[in-house]
Amino acid sequence: MLDKNIISKLSRIRRESEERTVSRRAAKIGKKYLNLSTTPITIEALAILPEAVAKEAGIVVIEKKANRIAVAAIDPKNAKTEKVIRDLENNYGVTVFVVSESSLKYALDYYKFAEKQTEDITGEISAKKKEIKEEDLLTLDGIKKFLDKEELSGSKANEILEIIFKGALANRASDIHFEPTGKEAKLRLRIDGLLHDVYTFELKFYSFIVSRIKLLSGLKLNVSNEPQDGRFTISFTQKDVEVRVAVAPAQFGEVIVMRLLDPDAINLDLKQLGLREDDLEIIEKELKRPNGLILNTGPTGSGKTTTLYAFLQHKKTPEIKIITIEDPIEYRISGIEQTQVDEESGYDFASGLKSLMRQDPDIILVGEIRDKETAEIGIQAALTGHLVFSTVHANSASGAVPRLLDLNVKPVSIGPALNLIIGQRLVRRLCANCRIPKTATNDLEDKVNNFLRKLPGRVNKDDYKEIKLFEAKGCPACNGTGFKGRIAIYELLKTAPEMEDLIIKQTGETAIYRFAVGNGMTTMQQDGILKVISGITTFNEVENVTGPIEWEE
């Protein structure tokens, strides 16, 4: 009996010989040759031709771009094949490739992924079919119990994903992670910034999950050795949720991260952002200005998009034209024109912003200032009658100006354009269902009272006369973490003529910070401490995002 390795080698030799023969035949008839086992095949293209027709005529559609398609055929001169090609040419520009019988068989196997329902290839999944009570999925343990009841087979992949999506939304997850290990694949959810293990699948079933997600996202099923990005929509009864998908190769298979873009997350008015009354008053005043630049700073995941979208919602009226340029568009807002960066076609932030200026906008949102050209166009827009919102990579509000100077923006332009710089971070809220009251020590009371005395005059000290401290406990409602939801802590740096002088002198971050504090800015850490003594969060949470608390003597 032949060894398996020998059989495999003989099979490979036969296949290579077959491919060489077909390559020569393609050259003789003046057609291009293709080996489909090494060529991406898209399901959207495959579905153009019914499987029965493809098998009978020996031809498949392997790629579609705009109104052009690529087809692969065993014999383009065959009468049945020629007829199919002529029919396709009525609707598309057609490029024909010659392939071997083995290649065609390989491609035909992909029809098992192209299910008959049209919705399966439109980039939308319905989460309305399976009867699942939301209260059954309100905890991670509830999701696990539900999945334990399900049959983990390829035909059930859609239903399993429906449970996962509903459970993720019920638990306010921002991301869904699938991570294959040696023998299984983990399902993890990111909730309030932290990842939680939820379930493990056998790798055999996980392969069905990967294929299903790729189908929904319009990704190539037969490409597993390079990263792919896509998106699709989950259709719930009350709303549609956009899902941004990133698939990447890893040691034990493909890892998948899905960002859930829940529209409810951005339906916040200014008062729901977590701003103190004095900070809210500043924001409302700055948003009334007809022109100028408002910058938001903070790391990825610090809530900048939510804050800026709340500004857009606040300003949105039929009389005002608002246009955005984003990378990518995360949430759709009705009544606002939103455009997306497309680097491949040369539409970046700078060129896009130039184009937007010709659309007669009143308010412009630029997703991020990354380079000198974008910064200068944005500043020019702010100086010529437009209100501009944007973000810049900096660790604090006082670090935004040095960042613009690092991009070689003219110092004389920055000061007159800037209205306000916002720095922000997110901290977890204590679970109102299980938090435990905590008595402040005499030493802590003295520190807090001294802290309150030194705060800017605009902060209403009477709101903090009673120190309300709580600590996390953990209960089923918060999945045992003691926290549920997040809230932003802010610092608002208002510009002034003195600050313009500092900018012209190209002063560093430390000097701008001193000016800001001297001019009445409440820092992010100070805002965090105020939220701690109001019973909203904990000192540990504030220190995790702002560093150790340094109480002034």
Last residue of a domain, one of 114, 147, 170: 114
pLDDT higher for 116 or 339? 339
Structure pTM? 0.76
- Residue 7's pLDDT is what? 59
- Residue 134's pLDDT is what? 64
- Report residue 119's pLDDT band, with 50, 70 and 90 as the boundaries: very low
Residue 273 has pLDDT above 70, yes or no: yes
Residues 6+ apart with CB under 8 A from 323: 336, 337, 338, 339, 356, 359, 361, 363, 364, 365
What is the average per-residue pLDDT within 444-449? Answer: 94
Q: Is residue 455 part of a domain?
A: yes
How many CB atoms sit inside 10 A of residue 22's CB?
Answer: 20
Tell me: do 245 and 300 sit in the same domain: no
Tell me: do 279 and 377 sit in the same domain: yes
Q: What percent of the chain has pLDDT over 70?
A: 93
The Cα 528–Cα 307 span in angstroms is 17
Tell me: do 333 and 315 sit in the same domain: yes
What is the average per-residue pLDDT within 165-186? Answer: 93
Contact 357, 366 (CB under 8 A): no
The Cα 328–Cα 342 span in angstroms is 9
The Cα 189–Cα 499 span in angstroms is 44
Residue 256 has pLDDT above 90, yes or no: yes
Q: Where in the sequence is the domain holding 179, given as residue range(s)?
A: 124-261
Q: Is residue 457 part of a domain?
A: yes
Measured between its terminal Cα atoms, the distance across the chain in Å is 86
Tell me: do 380 and 422 sit in the same domain: yes
Q: Which CATH number characterizes residue 409's domain?
A: 3.40.50.300
For helices 349-357 and 372-383, the axis angle rounded to 10 degrees is 20
Tell me: do 32 and 145 sit in the same domain: no
Tell me: do 255 and 274 sit in the same domain: no
Give the lowest-confidence range in 146-155, 208-217, 299-308: 146-155
Tell me: do 150 and 71 sit in the same domain: no
pLDDT tens string 122-155: 456 655 555 666 667 878 998 998 888 887 877 7
Q: Is residue 78 part of a domain?
A: yes
* CA triple 359-365-370, angle to 5 deg: 110
Q: Is residue 553 part of a domain?
A: no
Residue 2 has pLDDT above 60, yes or no: no
Last residue of a domain, one of 93, 114, 135: 114
For residue 209, which of 179, 175, 249, 173 has the smallest C-alpha distance? Answer: 179
Last residue of a domain, one of 261, 293, 322: 261
Domains held by the chain: number: 3
Tell me: do 254 and 284 sit in the same domain: no
What is the average per-residue pLDDT within 18-36? Answer: 90
Q: Which CATH number characterizes residue 237's domain?
A: 3.30.450.90
418-430 and 483-494 beta bridge pairing:
antiparallel
Tell me: do 363 and 391 sit in the same domain: yes
Tell me: do 257 and 292 sit in the same domain: no
Residue 118 has pLDDT above 50, yes or no: no
Q: Give whichever of 145-159, 176-190, 221-235 has the largest mean pLDDT.
A: 176-190
What is the average per-residue pLDDT within 522-534? Answer: 97
Tell me: do 270 and 419 sit in the same domain: yes
Q: Is residue 188 part of a domain?
A: yes
For residue 276, which of 524, 510, 473 has the smallest C-alpha distance? Answer: 524
Tell me: do 294 and 202 sit in the same domain: no
pLDDT tens string 70-80: 999 999 999 99
Contact 59, 68 (CB under 8 A): no
